[in-house]
Amino acid sequence: MAQTKIAWKFPLSNFVFLRIETVFVVLLTIGIFLLTFQKGLFYAVISTLIFLGLYVLVSFLVQKVRKTEEHYIITDADFQVTRKTRNRVRKEKVPLKEIKRHKLSKAFLGGYLLTHQKKKHLLFFNSKDELKKLDEHLQKHYKSRNKKSAKKKKR
């Protein structure tokens, strides 16, 4: 049986904002527009544009300064993630049999894996295809694990 390997890097070079971040900024922008609309349409538009400009500038600077990068590798046996932030590198490796459950969000392209020791491992995706491949792999892993435990119980 060939070993399955799923790997991806986050963020890609064309990455701008997380989806959840975009939703939050849109809600803040609408709130700022509505709060300043009392003073007039001109002030509302100007204050909204200033907020968006400052947010984009700060976000761009933070991305350039932190230089965050994550590499994910999932095989039939384990889950590995390498997190790089500027000069710091952290590596985590968790056997798939230690994973108790997982939760993935197709809307926000993120999720987590929860181990039996209650440790949460965050996941970030660039596309729905990456998320779908991981979900299928984990579902297959759970099915094979449940079949093995069912066979042990029958004995």
Residue 1, pLDDT score? 44
Q: Are 83 and 89 in contact (CB under 8 A)?
A: yes
Question: Average pLDDT for consecutive 10-residue bins of the chain (155 residues)?
Answer: 74 72 91 92 94 91 84 88 90 88 88 90 89 87 61 54
CATH 2.30.29.30 placement within the chain? 5-11+69-149
Mention the CATH class of domain 5-11+69-149: mainly beta
pLDDT of residue 28: 95
Instruction: Report the distance separating Cα 91 and Cα 150, nearest Å.
Output: 34
Per the omega criterion (within 30 degrees of 0), is the bond before 95 cis? no
pLDDT for 146 equals 55
Structure tokens at 114: 């929860």
- Per-residue pLDDT at 154: 54
pLDDT at 12: 73
Residues 59-77 as b or e (16 or more Cβ within 10 Å = b): eeeeeeeeeeebebebeee
